[in-house]
Amino acid sequence: MATTINGAAYSWDHVVVNIDGIAIDNIKSINYKEDQKIDHVYGAGVRPIGRSYGQITPTASITLSLGEVEEIRKKTKTGRLCEIKPFIIIVKYGDGDELEFVTHRLLNVQFKNEGTILDGDKNKESVVSLDLILSEIEWR
């Protein structure tokens, strides 16, 4: 069941993203998840008797406007995003009035790739999708 209060729902216009304490205004999307290795444990018989839990692997990506990427590049010596030291991304959403704010923290984040996309469509802003590496997601 979706969470709504007086018709208000969590939505994109309520998302605030900070990269290492710097507000990122021109974010187009951010995706993050964790996968955990989970296997059946077998004993006598053909059915599993339990489960074992292994490594958790977090993954993330972010899509920013080209202008936002260039602003981040200015904070580096060489302009390479991959040289930026590990940082924290805070994703916060909710409207602050009726919906409780939800805050997720992505820890020890670094950019995994570099790139620029220039699009000839004058009605569309150029965006760059970047893969991230991180050590953990704090869901609360």
Q: What is the pLDDT along the chain (140 residues), one digit of tens a residue?
A: 444 444 556 666 667 788 777 788 888 889 999 999 999 999 999 999 999 999 999 999 999 988 889 888 888 889 899 999 999 998 887 765 666 778 899 999 999 998 877 666 665 678 899 999 999 999 98
CATH fold of 4-138 reads Pnp Oxidase; Chain A (2.30.110)
Distance CA 71, CA 112 (A): 18
Name the amino acid, one letter, at 32: Y
How open is the CA angle 50-52-56, to the nearest 5 degrees?
145
Q: Rounded CA gap, 107 and 53, in Å?
A: 22
Query: So where are the chain's domains?
Result: 4-138
Residue closest to 13 by CA, chosen among 99, 89, 106: 99
The pTM of this model reads 0.81
